[in-house]
Amino acid sequence: MVPMMVVGIGQCSWDYLALVDRFPAEDTKKEVLRWEEQGGGPVATALVALRRLGMSTRFHGVVGEDPAGERIRESLKAEGVDTGGLLLRPGATSQTAFIVAEQATGRRTIYWRRPSGAPLGAKELGPAFLEGARFLHLDGLMAEASLHAARGARRRGIPAMLDAGRLREGMLDVAREVPFVVASEEFARDLGMRAGGEEEFLRRAEGMFPGTFTVTLGAQGSLTRTPEGRVFHVPAFEVEAVDTTGAGDVFHGGYIYGLLRGWELLSTVRFAAALAALACRRPGGRAGIPGLTEVEGFLSRRTERPES
Ligand code: ADP
């Protein structure tokens, strides 16, 4: 298959990871089982997933003038992500995160610091930022650039996805411009999704997200509402999850991959769930992201499982 170009605009981070057997009580000490460093950030990690599946990718974002910034850039380059749109903010610090993951359950707590430099501005994207793009992926954090990019993609007929992690200013404006919104549970709860009322919430949210709308629910899988109003559930695959950091980011990468391949929506979401589940088997957001052959092999062994 000829690689297709996915352009991503968003956060990129340098993550310090501590794996523990169980989360400790407050105000105690805890010895860690593993200590690692990796690149992170929703869009950046989604692009890494797409690269491992064989797509071409270009990333737009900002780093500071510090070792974390250098590592962020190198970690993307090592995966073959085009970092031509990754701007250096002189004298600034990069985004970093300290993540504690609980090996027994794969749950994680993230402490993060935003970059000290200015967010990417719309003008800094340049006139040709969508050149060659078959898909645009956004996390909506850099509101001005994200909105500008989403509108540009719409005008050119390029499909786009918003990874809606947390409800922030400008996020709903971006959401209205894109045909795919794939949101976290936290985002949906902030907009009024209640336990037991998930499906009803997805239907009710049609005014805000008229395109395809998916909410990921961690180990509970995901719910998707199609533009025609059909809602379906895709369960999470059972794996030995040691760290779910980046599961959502990888899920977005797999989702975009399926859409680019022209698969129907259910197969696309199922593929995304398999990719994300496999990535949960190793610590950090990126170490466990598999290649295409591994996901296909995994899915072919699981075809007998019911969809919901
Ligand atoms: P986020 O990282 O944005 O909070 P989620 O935790 O909702 O995202 O995870 C995204 C997707 O990854 C889920 O819909 C599910 O398919 C998969 N996933 C998450 N946690 C697990 C897990 N423990 N085991 C298997 N798959 C998982």
Which of 216, 217, 232, 298 has most ligand 1 atoms within 8 Å of CB, for mutation?
A: 216
Pocket residues: Cβ below 6 A from ligand 1? 106, 184-185, 216-219, 221-222, 236-237, 239, 241, 244, 247-248, 251, 273, 276-277, 280
Euclidean distance between CA atoms 42 and 112, whole angstroms? 13
CA of 46 to the centre of ligand 1 (A): 14
The residue with tokens 């993307």 is 76
Q: How much of the chain, in percent, has pLDDT values that exceed 70?
A: 98
Across the strands, what pairs with 15? 38, 97
User: Whose C-alpha lies nearest to ligand 1, atom 23?
Assistant: 219
Which of 102, 137, 244, 281 has most ligand 1 atoms within 8 Å of CB, for mutation?
A: 244
Of 163, 175, 176, 233, the C-alpha closest to 199 is 233
pLDDT over threshold 70, residue 277: yes
The pLDDT tens digits of the residues spanning 11-21 come to 999 999 999 99
Across the strands, what pairs with 88? 63
pLDDT over threshold 80, residue 308: no
pLDDT over threshold 60, residue 83: yes
Mean pLDDT, residues 178-205: 96
SS3 label, residue 18 = strand
Euclidean distance between CA atoms 186 and 299, whole angstroms? 28
Lowest mean pLDDT: which of 1-10, 145-154, 210-219?
A: 1-10
Counting from 1 in the atom list of ligand 1, the atom nearest the Cα of 165 is 3
CA of 110 to the centre of ligand 1 (A): 15
Mean pLDDT, residues 250-256: 98
Whole-number mean pLDDT of the chain? 94
Mean pLDDT, residues 107-133: 94
Neighbouring residues of 163: CB distance < 8 A, sequence distance ≥ 6: 10, 42, 43, 46, 137, 138, 139, 140, 182, 183, 248, 249, 252
Decide which of 294 and 284 is more confident.
Answer: 294
Euclidean distance between CA atoms 161 and 46, whole angstroms? 11
pLDDT over threshold 60, residue 305: no
pLDDT over threshold 50, residue 99: yes
* Reported confidence tier of residue 303, pLDDT bands at 50, 70, 90: low
CA of 153 to the centre of ligand 1 (A): 28
Lowest mean pLDDT: which of 81-85, 120-124, 165-169, 275-279?
A: 165-169
User: Whose C-alpha lies nearest to ligand 1, atom 1?
Assistant: 248
